[in-house]
Amino acid sequence: MSSPSADPSDAVDIAHRVVQIARQKGLAAAVSVNAGEGLSVTVRAGEVETLEYHQDKAVHVTVYDGQRKGSATSKDFSGNSLAETVSAAAEIAHNAEPDPWSGLLEERYLAQDIPDLDLDHPWEITAEDAIALALRAAEAAQAAEREVSQVDEAGVSHYRGVHAYANRHGFAAGYAGTRHGLNCIVVGARDGAMQRGYWFTSARRASALESPETVGRLAAERAVAKLGARKLGTRRAPVIFEARLATGLIGSLVAASSGGNLYREASFLRDAAGTQVMPGFLTIEEDPFLPQGLGSAPFDAEGGATRSRRVIDAGILTGYFLDGYSARRLGLPPTGNAGGPHNLIVGHQDEDLQTLLRRMGRGLLVTDLMGHGTNLLTGDYSRGASGFWVEDGALAYPVEEITIAGNLRDMLRGIVAVGSDVETRGATRIGSVLLEEMTIAGE
């Protein structure tokens, strides 16, 4: 048998074989197999700093003995090791407390069709060529701006992984996917002060990546633009989250709408389904079947059927993000979101970032966030930030060492506009977001 990192069918065979081993022991099992390989390089000061080849594989086994559950993992795919892994999971299950909500995803919710989503685009690039691309990004960054002090790092990566899942209900399927990227970190300097700028590109296909010259130039421009940053006095003002950061707002919405936080009653959106949580002009679509999408998947982490749906419809939360376990705990049907959401697409107005700045007039453009000050139970939000103060619809000067604060419930409802500068480098597609008002804490 060839390596499962090369062929999804091999990974499916392994998962199916483990399910049969568990069946022979009188146990229901769910088995996931993951394998992959890739390369990452970084350069600094014109020299190679790191060169890493990645190769990983693991089989994760969960068995159910009535209402008792046990799990074990192995990186050895030999027959003896697979049998030992099942036995280890069975032993854990035998000693576990019964859980009335435990069990395999019900058969009726399993994926029936496994579409080809065009996710597998291997990048046949040598280490030497990857190093050359990274050096091109670094050189472009150094040449882009006079006040570039140094290129901290430029990097190139590629990865191809295979995922398979099988369970006792007879489900067995797998697929391969790739993800490639370039990045650059630049330091700008002026009058003894330094600022850091970063840019990256990521895609399933190498040909869809931005050029190394573009990545280097944008990283340099962002670093130099932050030089001369000032502090702000404490105030309340409108705030724009740059598109890259606006994905975090949607991430908080997803976390607060996810089954684990809901059944634990640790979410400010508990019982919010069917209610208005965002402005009426906003929609959010979930599309698991987007060709080459970074969040696309033909089935979820427990074999559940993924489906296209409108998560936010005219500002109303239409449902939650549920796997089988959380769905049973909440008395609701699962939504195909074991493992998380799939390609969330936020509707936007026909306004680019410059138009949003003019619409805001006076306020704060946030380009960097620090810390993790989000309380999903209360919705309280407080993060360290930096960016640019805006006057008369134009960038006036960079600002740093500030904190922005608010409540996620108010922030989501207080969205004034979503820009057309859509972020496409992840599983959430959203433009820059203009919020009505937040507290900005400074001097």
For 398-410, the pLDDT digits (tens) are: 999 999 999 999 9
Establish if 1 belongs to a structural domain: no
Q: What is the mean pLDDT of residues 298-305?
A: 98
Distance of alpha carbon 4 from alpha carbon 35, whole angstroms: 6
Burial zone of 170 (CB within 10 Å; 0-12 exposed, 13-18 middle, 19+ buried)? exposed
Burial zone of 372 (CB within 10 Å; 0-12 exposed, 13-18 middle, 19+ buried)? exposed
Domain boundary among the residues 164, 197, 225 is at 225
E strand or H helix that includes residue 88: helix 79-95
Domain boundary among the residues 208, 225, 242 is at 225
Do 141 and 241 lie in a common domain?
A: no
Positive or negative: CA dihedral 209, 210, 211, 217: negative
Q: At 188, which CATH number?
A: 3.30.2290.10
Q: What residues make up the domain containing 193?
A: 8-225
pLDDT at 1 over 60: no
| Location of structure tokens 């995922």 | 163
Kindly report, residue by residue over 237-268, the tens digit of the pLDDT: 999 999 999 999 999 999 999 999 999 999 99
Q: What's the confidence (pLDDT) of residue 3?
A: 57
- State the chain's mean pLDDT as an integer: 96
pLDDT at 2 over 70: no
Do 252 and 209 lie in a common domain?
A: no
How far, CA to CA in Å, does 404 sit from each of 119, 120, 235, 382?
38, 40, 10, 6
Q: What's the confidence (pLDDT) of residue 7?
A: 86
Domain boundary among the residues 225, 243, 261 is at 225
Phi-psi group of 331: left, alpha or beta (phi > 0 → left; psi -120 to 50 → alpha; rest → beta): left
Do 36 and 48 lie in a common domain?
A: yes
Q: Are strands 344-346 and 428-429 parallel, antiparallel or unpaired?
A: parallel
pLDDT at 146 over 50: yes
Do 280 and 395 lie in a common domain?
A: yes
E strand or H helix that includes residue 55: strand 47-65
Into how many domains does the chain fold? 2
How far, CA to CA in Å, does 79 sit from each of 18, 88, 125, 185?
9, 14, 34, 46
pLDDT at 419 over 60: yes
Q: What is the mean pLDDT of residues 109-114?
A: 96
Establish if 3 belongs to a structural domain: no
Q: What is the mean pLDDT of residues 96-120?
A: 96
For residues 282 and 318, is the Cβ–Cβ distance under 8 A? Answer: no
For residues 384 and 402, is the Cβ–Cβ distance under 8 A? Answer: yes
Q: What is the mean pLDDT of residues 221-245?
A: 97
Do 154 and 216 lie in a common domain?
A: yes
